[in-house]
Structure 1
């Protein structure tokens, strides 16, 4: 039980530091150093050497170069009219479906997630267009806000995903295979959300007012023209990765260059947009990478204290079945989601949970998708769910109403977690073909 006591002390320190308002990356460093000094009885010079080595090794990983580039690409799209074109392009193709324009939330987030990699950018970019447009047309506010809260989280699951890059670096698995693993589950989530909207709108047609607008062939051609920029970026970025022509980092660079070219062609390029997007990308990238480096140090500290090996022994002695272990971890992550953001959840928990998962016989690629789904759930849980606060700012509603609207989509996401747990081939089908 000594390992549980050690973990309890470290968890208490993390909660204490975060509760005091200490920056996440600094808090993780302080916990790692304190644990090595007081629990492991390491001398300060040895701790300093470990810290320097880990910071340099984790901070200089080539795979991390994709993070600022994907963020920059999303920031540029957010500040140009590509997002407006996305809504206009999708609108004609959903008019025949029960729920009509409500599906633009789902499809818009799915497409934007394929060029962004960020849940907050996905939610904000699609939400700034659709929340106003749907409200003006008297669509159900609850379904509008709830579907955005759920579908906005697809920015983490559908490649290119920043969280998957972080997981790949920490777990030392192929990022390209992780990207491939996220495609089918991401489309499954989008499908489940759309089916829910269809069923709700069949039961109560007033949730989506009937459109009297007649559409002609020319309208669909015009819509395809509006969708062309996003589709072009998806083909260039993901096509380069899956054909093996480019690594994720190289594909990200191609994506940024292509975004610049598209804004020039469409006449929405300006140096102010470039500067604002670059500054936004720098701020977010520094936050992400600093947390990642500090988490790598904490992970190393946990390894030096032999916690993962001891914890594996404890869990093994409990005789848990693999699915019982998954259920416990799922509950653990949902609870963490009440207090921490997604990146912090992954980097803090992975050093402990990954050895358990491998010991139980699960594929680390599959576990990466499972973990991302759990982080997506965290985006929809108060009081730290980023998607909820973004939507609160966009709609001006109380956080309570936003949470209530998002709850059905939280439950639907849980259903998808159950499906991929029972049928792991949903996740591993595409990676196994690479």
Structure 2
């Protein structure tokens, strides 16, 4: 994402101190398995959305320690010479599996399984978490917003409310979760996301009159443009807009006031003026709740900014990256886990399936150590992303977008309720022979 040759220093200092210590102890090369998961969803959320996989794989390809990175670590004495020698040759040579981007997830879902030597896996922790925690949070919020919009298009326009590179990542995450367009041109260039944008209040204020501003915009951009009509008086602006652009004006935008009442008033005015095809787009600090409140209003699209790029109250997905298995002195893999109060983990390499009933609706998330049996219609959730160091999981963002649409449609209908609730399907940890009646099909 950042315009850097290497992504290797997008990490925490302690990743490299662990690498140094493991090299010193002779344990760095022990075969290890790490797992990324969330212990819980943000309060009240019913599902999460997997996002960031493509960005993580792109960053992984550039995760190498070149001369500049090695010089920095040496000058600041972050690690010793032996560790520097190792890092000069570092390339991730292990394998990674994960939930496919665009899929949904639940508490305990093993979103990423990273297998290799301890040292090559542990130094990927911060890279993975920083990408997935941000992108999953934005995509999860975006999914709630597009569901609340009920098929009306949503425009991502949060670039001015976050870090410049977070804006690009947010646009990508929002698009895969159903947003139609973004205002961010870099996201359009990097990921092929459709971009859109017209004008702000400053453009109107620049001109000697609102009429002059509208005429300039229509003459430049055509009658299909969207005119911002609440700089001064909304009713006067709508009349001027139709007079200048004609009844084929593309859209008007409302950015303040009582949006529900104004939308009804503007719709009635447009229809009376003969502009029956002119759309109404609303903006102004929208979130999923405001969008839902506008469901009965004659609104044709929503522009969302601040709430989207900050995860709509959940700015991080709360994912963690934990060692769950490692080799002993004989080379045999043994399960390991934290026992800390409130932060316990479950040891062992996980497998995951989603139980699907005869109607194609998800009934539960089955997580097990060892292969998890299930019916033919159940979904195997872990897909290969990296095999023996070779990245195999890169796909277009549109593939993740299509997948999200399909996976969301498989959840029970209550998944899209905005009222607080428990995860829409349960996560069940099973052994190799789960109770066959657990998700009995009806």
TM-score normalised over the length of structure 2: 0.27
Q: 1 or 2, which has the higher helix percentage?
A: 1
User: Which structure has more RCO (C-alpha within 8 Å, separation ≥ 6)?
Assistant: 1
Q: 1 or 2, which has the higher strand percentage?
A: 2
